[in-house]
Amino acid sequence: MYCARAGDRAPTAAAIIEVFNGEFAERENTVLCGGADEPMYEPAAAAASGRARISFRADYASSALHEVAHWCIAGRSRRDLPDYGYWYAPDGRSARQQAQFLEVEARPQALEWCFSQASGLRFRVSLDNLDEPPDGRTERCFGDAVVRAALRLRADGLPPRGERFLVALARRFRPAFRRADLLFSPDYLS
């Protein structure tokens, strides 16, 4: 588990935006923006500015990291589609819809966990279905899936944009952090 060290700087959503835009605005023609009611990815071809736009919820730093994780995983053809071409059902999903959501969500949350460690933010697994009462079994199973996905990322390597963002976050918020410092265990999810 991450503990603050001398020299570490607390991450804010605004600082995460600065890091992301500094790394990717020119190189990938993509900007990160907060203040959205709901997260959304808009490809460059559809954006008035001509730049792809990743919008995250309100001013939540963890939402910023999560949306960037989706972007880092999405391939080129997916990045040409609004919200990467994925369906999204808001709160109140059926059990089938929730199961489908959890199947595709473990890897982005695992990458978000990497980003959280590099920036010093606490990571929390999200079932993203606030209308459903908490179900400890589902939370544990999904948490285990996120841990497995995180361990695969650590063993196989992060996607290239994910690696670049991880290094940039660490440089800004945790200068002594190295990729080898990534720790994953179900114990860290409670």
What is the rounded CA–CA span in Å between residue 103 and residue 86? 13
pLDDT(181) > 80: yes
Distance between the two ends of the chain, CA-based, in angstroms?
11
What backbone torsions phi and psi does residue 61 show, to the nearest 5 degrees?
-60, -40
pLDDT of residue 27: 97
Cβ contacts of 17 within 8 Å, gap of 6 or more: 32, 33, 34, 64
**pTM value > 0.85:** yes
Cβ partners under 8 Å of residue 54, min gap 6: 20, 30, 31, 32, 33, 41, 67, 68, 70, 71
pLDDT tens, residue by residue, 15-58: 999 999 999 999 999 999 999 999 999 999 988 889 999 999 99
Q: What is the pLDDT of residues 79-120, one digit of tens each?
A: 999 999 886 656 666 667 767 777 789 999 999 999 999 999
Q: Within a 13 Å sphere around the CA of 1, how many CA atoms are in the beta-carbon half? A: 9
Q: Is 44 helix (H, G, I), strand (E, B) or coil?
A: helix
pLDDT surpassing 50 at residue 175: yes
Summarize the confidence of residues 52-75 as an average pLDDT. Answer: 96
Strand positions, DSSP E, 62-164: none
Q: Enumerate the domain spans of the chain.
A: 13-189
Asked if residues 158 and 115 have their Cβ atoms less than 8 Å apart, the reply is: no
Max alpha carbon distance in the chain (Å)? 47
Q: Report percent pLDDT > 70 for the chain.
A: 84
Q: How confident is the model at residue 6 (pLDDT cuts 50, 70, 90)?
A: very low
pLDDT for residue 129 is more than 50: yes
Torsion angle of alpha carbons 44, 90, 12, 32, nearest 10°? 0
Examine the pLDDT at 13 and tell me if it is beyond 50.
yes
